[in-house]
Amino acid sequence: MSSRANKMPIALRIVASLFVVTWVLMAAFPFVWTFWGSFKVELDFFSIADWTNALTGPRTQETYGSTFTGAGYHGAWVEEEFMRNVINTFIVCFFVVCTSLTFGTLGGYALSRSGYQYTFWLLIAALIFRAMPPITLVAGYMLPFFEWNLWGILPTTIIVLVAINQPFTLWMLHSFFQNIPKELDESAKVDGCTQFQAFRHVIIPVMWPGVITTGLFSFLLAYNDFAVTSMLLSEGNRTMVPQIAAFLGTTYTEGNIMFAVAAVVSATAPLFVLVMVFQRQIVSGLTAGAVKG
């Protein structure tokens, strides 16, 4: 980057830096603010008198004798048994990621190695499925699931999320497998392997970077879903996100909004860790899709 073309006038450099700082603040400040506020009482976090109350917490001091309180967390985790929803979320995410990666690697590998015309049409169908809002399908699930008594339980939701996830997973892994040279498995087949053996012994050992990246996005889809989980899970089986939505319905009236704030912060924490650990994979996954685009 030493070329003259990249030397910037100082004014432009300052403007750009300011813009970056502003953007980082826009992106991060809401989370910091909510995290800080989740340890306050409602009258401080939503202060009519003075906005600095949310920072200093005089009411919290009055009520609990300290400017920080875990009351919101206690309310959410103990009184409302948020733990159950957390466990449900992780069950759902774990099985969705595992199943959709298994299905997706097999399918994506097949699509990348078959030269027939139907692979094109299958990919186009997947693209159309990817474009449809998942909620449009929910009306179609309801009646059969009620009839067969499948509604409300976790396995149903898991398989539905797996299916909704497939189009994206297929596209990602298809383009990933295409970058693995065909000669690798061809030579294994020449040596007498069947296609599956070639996949098992030659492709599986080298596919993990792509699979992990795809898995991250599968996880995000399952973790972040609201439309499907809120419609297909019964009250006792709710995952975190529909439970937070349910908090809103009751807490605005009962004045326990801090429960919802604490639950929101709790649900954000795993995502925070995820970005911290897998930042590089997320970025590469996003750009891989674009370069193929």
Q: Which of residues 159-218 bind other proteins (CB under 8 A)?
A: 159-160, 162-164, 166-167, 169-170, 195-196, 199
Distance CA 195, CA 110 (A): 10
Interacting positions 104-133 with other proteins (CB under 8 A): 104, 106-107, 109-111, 113-117, 120, 122, 124-133
Distance CA 86, CA 235 (A): 14
> One symbol per residue from 225 to 264: x for binding other proteins (CB under 8 A), - otherwise; what is it?
-xx--xx---------x--xx--x-----------xx--x
- CA atoms in the 13 A half-sphere facing the CB of 19: 6
**Closer of 184 and 283 to other proteins (Cβ):** 283
- Render 51-116 in DSSP notation, one character per residue: TTHHHH-HHHHHHHSSS---HHHIIIIIIS-HHHHHHHHHHHHHHHHHHHHHHHHHHHHHHHH--S
Nearest approach, Cβ of residue 208 and other proteins (Å): 19
Work out whether 283 is an interface residue with other proteins (CB under 8 A).
yes
CA angle, 202 then 206 then 208, to 5°? 135
Cβ count near 166 (within 10 Å)? 20
Among 91, 98, 138, 193, binds other proteins (CB under 8 A): 138
Nearest approach, Cβ of residue 184 and other proteins (Å): 14
Nearest approach, Cβ of residue 204 and other proteins (Å): 13
Distance CA 246, CA 259 (A): 11
Cβ(262)–Cβ(86) under 8 Å?
no
Among 11, 139, 183, 192, binds other proteins (CB under 8 A): 139
**Closer of 131 and 205 to other proteins (Cβ):** 131
Cβ(67)–Cβ(56) under 8 Å?
yes
**Closer of 65 and 238 to other proteins (Cβ):** 238
Segment interacting with other proteins (CB under 8 A) among 63-71, 78-86, 202-210, 274-282: 274-282
Nearest approach, Cβ of residue 79 and other proteins (Å): 20
Work out whether 269 is an interface residue with other proteins (CB under 8 A).
no
Work out whether 13 is an interface residue with other proteins (CB under 8 A).
yes
Nearest approach, Cβ of residue 64 and other proteins (Å): 20
Work out whether 86 is an interface residue with other proteins (CB under 8 A).
no
What's the one-letter identity of residue 268? T
Distance CA 95, CA 114 (A): 28
Work out whether 24 is an interface residue with other proteins (CB under 8 A).
yes
**Closer of 69 and 151 to other proteins (Cβ):** 151
Q: What six digits make up the tokens of 241?
A: 């996100």
Q: Quick one: CA torsion of 253, 256, 257, 259, rounded to 10 degrees?
A: -140
Nearest approach, Cβ of residue 196 and other proteins (Å): 8
Work out whether 143 is an interface residue with other proteins (CB under 8 A).
yes
